[in-house]
Amino acid sequence: MTKYIMTVVLVAALTGACGGGTEAPPTAAPTPPASFQQIDLAPGTGAQAGPGARVTVKYTGWVYDPSKPDNKGYKFDSTDTHEPLTFNVGKGEVIPGWDQGFTGLKVGGRRRLIIPPNLAYGAEGVPDAHIPPNAGLVFDMELVDVK
């Protein structure tokens, strides 16, 4: 597997399915965040994720836009429209920002990740999911399971 497993999930599950309501998909990335940030929204009480753990997560992803509330621009993906995603932390199966963002989170916990382009999809973006090149991303995540 590669760090682009999330791209496969996005394109297969979402092509045209999510969107940000009436907001049009961006054609160019707004100014991206300067650095990676993780903000705990709710503590969990279950098993803790760490490198090598197999985790299952629910999430919603937006293109980072500093002009929007909570920096949430165009919504490009959500497990509200498909099954949660399972992956191995730290194995390069997802974007680097996700590998970095789950360490220490406990089952039931919710966290917001603000991910700069170099830890997301970089200069390539994901055109089919309406993620422009050099876009920062915002994810609200919930850790469902750790094995």
Q: pLDDT digit string (tens) for 22-69? A: 578 888 889 999 999 999 999 999 999 999 999 999 999 999 999 999
Identify the pLDDT of residue 100. Answer: 95
Q: Does residue 106 carry a pLDDT above 70? A: yes
Number of H helices, E strands in the chain: 2, 6
Confidence of residue 19 (pLDDT cuts 50, 70, 90): low
Radius of gyration for the alpha carbons in the chain, expressed in angstroms and rounded? 14
Q: Which range, of 12-26, 44-58, 82-96, 107-121, averages the lowest pLDDT?
A: 12-26
CB proximity list for 21: less than 8 A, separation 6 or greater: 75
Tell me the sheet residues that pair with 113: 38, 139
Q: Calculate mean pLDDT across residues 112-116.
A: 98
- The helix/strand/coil state of 19 is coil
Q: How far is CA 44 from CA 10, 28, 31, 47, in A?
A: 26, 36, 32, 8
Interval 105-115 mean pLDDT: 98
Distances (CA, A) of 120 to 44, 45, 61, 74: 25, 28, 12, 15
Domains in the chain (CATH in brackets) are 5-146 (3.10.50.40)
d(CA 120, CA 118): 6
pLDDT at site 35: 96
Residues 116-123, mean pLDDT to the nearest whole number: 97
